[in-house]
Amino acid sequence: MTQMILELPFTALDAGADRRAWLSGVRDSAARAGGYLGFDRWPAERRARLEKAVREHMPELAPLIDSLAEELDVPDAWTALAVPTTRPFTAGCTQTAASGVLARNYDFDPDDCSKTVVRTDFLRPVIGMQEGTWGLLDGMNDAGLAVSIAFGGRPVLDLEDGHSVLLLARYLLETCESAEEAWERAKSFPSATTHNLTVVDSDQAYSLYLRPGEGAVRRDSPTAANHQDDPEHEGGEDSRLREAVLDRVRRAATVPDLIAALLTGPLYRHGYGRGFGTVYTAAYVPREGRVEYHWPETAIGVSFEDFQTMEWTVDVEDRA
């Protein structure tokens, strides 16, 4: 086994206090998105259909997208901000909740994710790990709600009627005050991909299975990895092992023990060169409005009361 130390650069940005810097990053992402996702070749009718669907299913976000698209002033800005899903992304994540804390590992190719923590104040204050222009991988809001997403195990797409789970995470945190309200909005959400959500507030925690062309399935357990209960949604033995290990720790241990478990095998993954290394471990405490991002050798915390724009670098070990 060969080992290599990789340096992962991270950024925290306050989109209010540092709006020009935040807009610059979103503008760059939006300008690249058309070529990367292929919607720069879409006919006008398809773009119009996407816009109509966003206005129907996420009406509160539509005026925000209108305003942001005007500020960005790049071709296809509205489409980019709608975070169209044109291909599945098969991240290998593990997530759960205990004592009102949402804890998760995000496993992906670190070169293909933004590694940017953002605080925004659109419909309400939100802090989260931004991806896909202004979508979110995980986050929390000032009402005490936290959400995270994980790949659900089957690389299928609904390109006609489905929406991005990254935009769904943004939508739930912008518009919901509780886990129950999030369920009411998510249960009929037309997802473009197979994904799992973990949803947490001070009163409850649960997970959701999202599948293209179907309604969401709610589970009492907040623990999810990269498979679903249906045999067709096979995430492999590795996913089932990770979910079982994390759920066992959740039931028996304290939150610090839970974080420690996420930072060790089999939950923590070193396959960065293969595109499945643990980019970060997050522990959201939404009732207190704070989050800590962990790595084996360090941790960084931010909160609604104390959010500073900053940059930092983390060393991780790639084991080929």
Structure tokens at 44: 């006008």
Strand partners, 206: 199
Yes or no: say if 148 and 95 are a contact pair by the CB < 8 Å rule: yes
167-211: pLDDT as tens digits: 999 999 999 999 999 999 999 999 999 999 999 999 999 999 999
Range of weakest confidence among 46-60, 137-151, 231-245, 303-317: 231-245
Range of weakest confidence among 29-38, 45-54, 92-101, 209-218: 29-38
- Measured CA to CA, the distance from residue 306 to residue 284 in angstroms comes to 15
Work out the number of other CB atoms within 10 angstroms of the CB of residue 95: 27
Rg (CA), the chain: 18
Query: Rounded to a whole number, what is the largest CA-CA distance in the chain?
Result: 54
Structure tokens at 199: 């949803």
> pLDDT band at 235, cuts 50/70/90?
low
> pLDDT band at 34, cuts 50/70/90?
confident
Residue 88, preceding peptide bond in cis (omega within 30° of 0): no
Yes or no: say if 141 and 102 are a contact pair by the CB < 8 Å rule: no
- Mean of pLDDT over the chain: 93
pLDDT of residue 86: 67
Examine the pLDDT at 132 and tell me if it is beyond 80: yes
Q: Which domains does the chain have, with CATH numbers?
A: 3-15+88-319 (3.60.60.10)
Examine the pLDDT at 250 and tell me if it is beyond 70: yes
- CA torsion through residues 136, 142, 143, 145, sign: positive
Express as a percent the part of the chain with pLDDT over 90: 79
pLDDT of residue 84: 87
pLDDT of residue 1: 61
For 300, residues 6+ apart whose C-beta sits below 8 A from its C-beta are 10, 12, 292, 293, 312
Nearest alpha-carbon partner for 172 in 198, 142, 147, 205:
147
For 26, residues 6+ apart whose C-beta sits below 8 A from its C-beta are 68, 72, 133, 134
Half-sphere exposure of 224 toward its Cβ, with a 13 Å CA cutoff?
33
DSSP β-ladder status, 146-151 and 135-141: antiparallel
Half-sphere exposure of 310 toward its Cβ, with a 13 Å CA cutoff?
8
DSSP β-ladder status, 290-295 and 276-285: antiparallel
Mean pLDDT confidence for 21-33: 92
Say what angle helices 62-72 and 44-57 make with each other, to 10 degrees: 140
Mean pLDDT confidence for 18-29: 94
Examine the pLDDT at 233 and tell me if it is beyond 60: no
Examine the pLDDT at 231 and tell me if it is beyond 80: no
Give the pTM. Answer: 0.96
pLDDT of residue 232: 59
